[in-house]
Amino acid sequence: MSNAARTGCVFVCSRAVRLLFSYFCFINEKVVAQTKEWLFGKNLEELGEIVLRLGMPRFTARQIAAWLYKKGASQISQMTDISLRNRELLDKIYTVGTVAPSAVAVSTDGTKKYLFPTLSGAYVETVYIPEGDRATLCVSSQAGCRMGCEFCVTGKQGLQHSLTAGEIINQMRSIPESGDITNIVYMGMGEPLDNTAEVLKSLEILTSEWGYGWSPTRITVSTVGVLGGLKELLEKSRVHVAVSLHNPFPAQRAEIMPAERAFPIEKVVEMLKGYDFSGQRRVSFEYIVFDGLNDSPGHIKALVRLLDGLKCRINLIRFHNSPGSRFSSPDNAAMVRFRDALSHKGITTTIRSSRGEDIQAACGLLSTEKKQTESQTLS
Ligand code: SF4
């Protein structure tokens, strides 16, 4: 689930949408049409198939991976430990790939929101959040989203397309702060587990020794609870998991999150209880607090019952009023009361600070506006 809303949810903003673009600095309006296939985003196995098909030695796959993911090559010609003949051969069919962001908005708190064009003509948003000695990058996994969460701007776009592994990692590779990132959260636009194969491939590239070599404990994938994808994620990776909960009562949850009908939260939690979270791997639940909607004593009781027996934490996110929304924002005192009540019941609960509010927030606003501007220009 796109923490677009989730994180977007985190970056929820009450600013008028029309103000949005006044904050943006367009840094790369021209999107280069790339007709050649990207090498960036391919795993070692795929690179192995490519080099064998082109008649190159198998070890060339490792050399290419090192140039792509360790040495930051932007062109095949830079891969100088590969023979000139083989570089020319590769260059006929492939390109390194990678795309620079086309716009950036900078918040007074240091948060930066980037807009990336995708190969099929959509836009996705990526948020860079520096905080002390940490810097978290929130990446998108889809342009748009088909989960339809009522509170989410991205959900209103519908699904345009799913990103490739290369497009997902490109968001980390192609921002100026790339080298400063300490953590990655898949909480931008889209539902990551509605694009499981590419998300898993991106995780493989991030965490393999031939790739970026990151510890999986630096990565969190968020989801509304797509059951099949969640099982795969739990079994094929060791990254942290964050489930967008928002309401423990199935009927109430379904009202704001249609995905509840296909993936009931009770089944999601039941599945999670079958895995071990007592070590380094963590599971957390994101909970957007809407004033008067999901913050009653009854909700606390139901949350405690639902999560009983699962080692987890809850991250509370204050909903921020937005134009045209039927939801309203709780005040700080209500957030603290809700947190303390859950903590008192033995569930580790934190209030996530809102960042980047002045550059607007809910992921999806920017890409929606950019698309609309383009449509108007074309018509
Ligand atoms: S509609 Fe999609 S992007 Fe938005 S909150 Fe739901 S799952 Fe996330």
312 in catalytic set: no
Q: Is residue 323 part of a domain?
A: yes
163 and 43 in a single domain? The answer is: no
**190 CB near ligand 1 (under 6 Å):** yes
74 and 204 in a single domain? The answer is: no
177 and 71 in a single domain? The answer is: no
Question: Does residue 21 surpass a pLDDT of 80?
Answer: no
Distance between Cα 277 and ligand 1 center (Å): 25
208 and 343 in a single domain? The answer is: yes
Q: Is residue 1 part of a domain?
A: no
Name which residue sits closest to atom 8 of ligand 1, judged by CA.
2
305 and 236 in a single domain? The answer is: yes
Whether residue 299 contacts residue 245, with contact meaning beta carbons closer than 8 Å, is answered with no
281-311 confidence digits (pLDDT tens): 999 999 999 999 999 999 999 999 999 999 9
Name which residue sits closest to atom 7 of ligand 1, judged by CA.
1
Model confidence band, residue 191 (pLDDT cutoffs 50, 70, 90): very high
* Residue predicted with more confidence, 374 or 211: 211
Whether residue 102 contacts residue 24, with contact meaning beta carbons closer than 8 Å, is answered with no
49 in catalytic set: no
Whether residue 105 contacts residue 361, with contact meaning beta carbons closer than 8 Å, is answered with no
Question: Does residue 168 surpass a pLDDT of 90?
Answer: yes
**1 CB near ligand 1 (under 6 Å):** yes
Name which residue sits closest to atom 1 of ligand 1, judged by CA.
155
Instruction: Tell how strand 103-106 and strand 24-26 pair up.
Output: antiparallel
Q: Is residue 334 part of a domain?
A: yes
Distance between Cα 310 and ligand 1 center (Å): 24
Per-residue pLDDT at 20: 44
Question: Does residue 4 surpass a pLDDT of 50?
Answer: no
Instruction: Count structural domains, the chain.
Output: 2
344-370 confidence digits (pLDDT tens): 999 999 999 887 777 765 556 556 665
Q: Is residue 276 part of a domain?
A: yes
70 and 166 in a single domain? The answer is: no
Question: Does residue 7 surpass a pLDDT of 80?
Answer: no
23 and 62 in a single domain? The answer is: no
Within a 13 Å sphere around the CA of 285, how many CA atoms are in the beta-carbon half?
25
56 and 105 in a single domain? The answer is: no
- What's CA 314's distance to the chain center, in Å? 18
Nearest C-alpha neighbor of 364 from the set 7, 8, 6, 25: 8
**Is the Cα dihedral 128, 153, 255, 160 positive or negative?**
negative
285 and 329 in a single domain? The answer is: yes
Beta strands in 97-158 (DSSP E): 103-106, 112-117, 123-131, 134-138, 142-144
81 and 190 in a single domain? The answer is: no
Per-residue pLDDT at 252: 98
> How do the residues of the chain divide into helix, strand and coil, expressed in percent and rounded to 5?
40, 20, 40
Q: Which H or E element spans position 348?
A: strand 348-351
Distance between Cα 174 and ligand 1 center (Å): 24
Reduced to 3 states (helix: H, G, I; strand: E, B; else coil), residue 26 is strand
Q: Which of 60, 77, 95 is the last residue of a domain?
A: 95
Per-residue pLDDT at 28: 60
Nearest C-alpha neighbor of 121 from the set 376, 377, 370, 352: 370
Which amino acid belongs to residue 212? Y
**148 CB near ligand 1 (under 6 Å):** yes
Per-residue pLDDT at 5: 37
Q: Is residue 2 part of a domain?
A: no
| Residue tagged active-site, from 125, 167, 286, 369 | 125
**68 CB near ligand 1 (under 6 Å):** no
Read off the pLDDT of each residue in 317-327 and give the average, rounded to a whole number: 87
**155 CB near ligand 1 (under 6 Å):** yes
Model confidence band, residue 275 (pLDDT cutoffs 50, 70, 90): very high
Read off the pLDDT of each residue in 242-248 and give the average, rounded to a whole number: 98
Q: Is residue 148 part of a domain?
A: yes
Which CATH number do you get for residue 190?
Answer: 3.20.20.70
Q: Which of 95, 130, 145 is the last residue of a domain?
A: 95
Q: How far apart are CA 147 and CA 11, in angstroms?
A: 19
| Residue tagged active-site, from 138, 145, 149, 363 | 363
**258 CB near ligand 1 (under 6 Å):** no
268 and 327 in a single domain? The answer is: yes
**Is the Cα dihedral 143, 182, 180, 134 positive or negative?**
positive
**152 CB near ligand 1 (under 6 Å):** yes
Give helix 60-69 / helix 44-53 axis angle, nearest 10°: 130
Take residue 64 and report the two structure tokens written for it: 């290419």
Read off the pLDDT of each residue in 88-112 and give the average, rounded to a whole number: 96
* Domain interval for residue 77: 37-95
Quick one: residue 120, left, alpha or beta (phi over 0 = left, psi -120 to 50 = alpha)? alpha
